[in-house]
Structure 1
Amino acid sequence: MAKADLAARALLREFRIVTPPVNPFELAERLNVLVVPQGMDDDVSGMLLRKDGSCIIGVNEAHSFERQRFTVAHELGHLRLHEGRPLILDIDARVNYRNAMSSMATDREEVDANRFAAALLAPEEMVRQATQRISFRTTEDLVRVLARRFQLSEMAMTYRLMNLGIVSGPAR
């Protein structure tokens, strides 16, 4: 199992979360991370700022609720998995951004943070249990029901189900 999956599982266990939907905003608060919705360029989903032991997650307030949830979970992944990257600002700080490039997951840290977010918001065991408990006729039905239950976009749920080997491809 990948480090990101293990880290997400450990965070869920730490706060005794066993049923969906997982609330990344509440987890951030419990980790003493301030989440600040703010205006950002449309291609920027969020950022993680660390300074002097404090952490702030900025999340694009114009994005959908499901995307904001994924962004906060993604930034929590950076917090748990990575030291951060230096960025020259007017202050000495370390920042991770989540933008269109990181969504494509070409950078190793971004791949890890996306994997962490998926494992945090749709933990394998919870997804498999939910899949067994619901009735569905098509992959599209399964994706729609699970996306609602886990408060993810249908696209994010489709990728999660594909990565878990529950479906073989996107619903048509």
Structure 2
Amino acid sequence: MARADTAARTLLQEFQVTSAPVDPISLARDLDVQVVPQDLDDDVSGMLLRRDGRCVIGVNRTHSRLRQRFTVAHELGHLRMHRGRPLILDTDTRVNYRNTVSSMATDREEVEANRFAAALLAPETLVRDAVYGASFRTVGELVTQLAGTFELSEIAMTYRLMNLGIISGPAH
């Protein structure tokens, strides 16, 4: 199991979250992290700020509710797994003025934070239970149904199901 999956599972167990949809804002509050909707450039989904022992997650208020949920979960992933950096700014286009080794580390952290967010919002056992109990004829119907249950975008749900080996690829 990947480190991100383990970290997400640990957080869910810590606060005894056992049903969907998982509320990442409530989990942030439980961790004493303030979540602040912000007016950010459209290509900035969110940020994590650590200062003086306090943590704040800024989330782009103009993005859809589902995107904001994923962003908060993503920033919680940075909080739990990527210690030490005082500011993490998540944008669609990453500008890096560092050497290639450190920029690769940042990309790896982003992939890991995305995996954490997916595992937090759609925990494997809950997803497998939902698939087992679902009534569907096509992969598309399954994705739509589960996206609603877990309050994820259909794209995020598709990737989660693919990563869990439940489906082999996106619905056509």
Choose the corresponding residue for 2:89, options 97, 100, 104. 97
Instruction: Give me the CA root mean square deviation.
Output: 1.3
Question: 2:151, 2:73 → 1: CA distance?
Answer: 12
Question: 2:151, 2:84 → 1: CA distance?
Answer: 28
Matched residue SS, 1:21:
coil
Question: 1:168, 1:101 → 2: CA distance?
Answer: 28
- Number of aligned pairs? 162
TM-score relative to the length of structure 2:
0.91
Please name the residue that 2:47 is paired with: 47
Matched AA of 1:168: S
Question: 1:63, 1:84 → 2: CA distance?
Answer: 28
Equivalent residues in 2 for 1:72-151, closer than 5 Å: 72-85=72-85, 94-101=86-93, 107-151=107-151
Unmatched runs of 5 consecutive residues or more in structure 2: 95-103
Please name the residue that 1:152 is paired with: 152
Give a deviation string over 1:42-76, Cα, whole Å, max 9, x none: 11000000001100000000000000000000000
| Deviation at residue 101 of structure 1 after TM alignment | 3.9
Report percent identity of matched pairs. 65
Matched AA of 1:60: N
Structure 1 runs (4+) deviating above 6 angstroms are none
TM-score relative to the length of structure 1:
0.91
| Deviation at residue 84 of structure 1 after TM alignment | 4.3
Give a deviation string over 1:96-144, Cα, whole Å, max 9, x none: 1121147xx9701111100100000001110000000010000000000
| Deviation at residue 83 of structure 1 after TM alignment | 1.5
Residue 60 and residue 144 in structure 1: after superposition, are their counterparts in 2 closer, same or farther (change >3 A)?
same
